[in-house]
Every structure is written in structure tokens, then in C-alpha cells.
Amino acid sequence: MKIESSRILLRKFKRRDFSDFLEIYTDKEIFKYELSNPLEKGDIEYEFNEILASYMYEAFDHLCLAIEEKESKKMIGTITLDYKDPDQKICEIGGWLKTEYTKKGYATEIGKELIQSLLYDKNCSKVFCSTVSQNKNACRLIERLGLEQEGLIKMGTWANGKNYDIAFYGILKSDL
């Protein structure tokens, strides 16, 4: 699956991406609202190798892609796609950008392209995601991408010593 916008390319990870992958998965700011702390280097290396190995299979039920800035050819983030119901073609999306690339429109730009590709090229009936509702930047981004809040689970998760509400967002192909 290759998706691109004017500044961004979504592509499979390459071995050379490991240092950027490591930077993302050890960034405390990125993990501020995550259920776990940043991973240890050995765990990150294992996860990265699992992603590379998964490319040997052409199945699309779970896919992790690199977000590459076209101009610099640098990996600046990750996107994960999970088919929750392959028969109905319902897909969950999620991702992270390196902190220095946030608030520059990259996530909105590639997110719109990704959602359009999933709904039309991959013929998904629904695309959804979730985030903790206290992560206001993520909530605003998701809404800019056209997803509507479908539900809220109060105190739905415990992370980093705090309770967080989980907000669920979705978009139906039939609503477009």
C-alpha cells in the first residue's frame, strides 16, 4: 500500500528507518497519553523486526507503515492500520509523528489521503480510531479528518498514574 500527498509518502519500513523508529518509541512527549511508558531499546528492536517480517505476507489485516517526508526522505512518523472486521471492511487507524513535525499540517495532509484510500481504493465501509479525550490535539486532528465522535468511555483507561476517558471516532463510507 503506497499513499502519498504533496509532502508526505506512506510506505513500508526499511532497515535504515530503525534510528527514527527508536526515536519515536522512546519520546516521552509522544507517550504522554499512551497506556505504557516508552519502550526499552531491545523491545523496540524486536517490534521493528516484527514489522519488517510482516511484509513477507501480503495480508492486509494489520499493517504498520512509515511516514516519510518527501523532500528530506526522512522517516518522521508511523501509521498503523488494523482490519477489525475483514468481511465488513472496518479499519482502525492510529499513528505518531516525531514531536518536531507536529503542528505543521503533516498529520492532516496524510490522514485525509489515507482515509480516502481506505474508503475508496480498499473499499472499507468504516474507518475509526480512538484516543484519550484529554489529548485535545489528537481530538482536533481526528475531527479535521472528518471523523465524528461516536462514544466516550469515562475513566476508560489508566496510564501514567492517571485515569483517562477514551473517545471513539468514526467515518462511514455511506455518509460521504
Give the per-residue pLDDT at 57: 76
Q: Is the pTM of this model over 0.75?
A: yes
Domain regions of the chain by residue span = 3-127
Whole-number average pLDDT of the chain: 91
Indicate the helix (H) or strand (E) that contains 110: helix 106-116
Fold assignment, 3-127: Aminopeptidase (3.40.630)
- Pairing, β 90-97 against β 126-132: parallel
What confidence category does residue 172 fall into, taking pLDDT thresholds of 50, 70 and 90? very high
pLDDT tens digits, residue range 105-159? 999 999 999 999 999 998 999 999 999 999 999 999 999 999 999 999 999 988 7
Query: Who's near 124: CB < 8 A, 6+ residues apart?
Result: 89, 90, 91, 118, 173
Give me the amino acid identity at 28: K
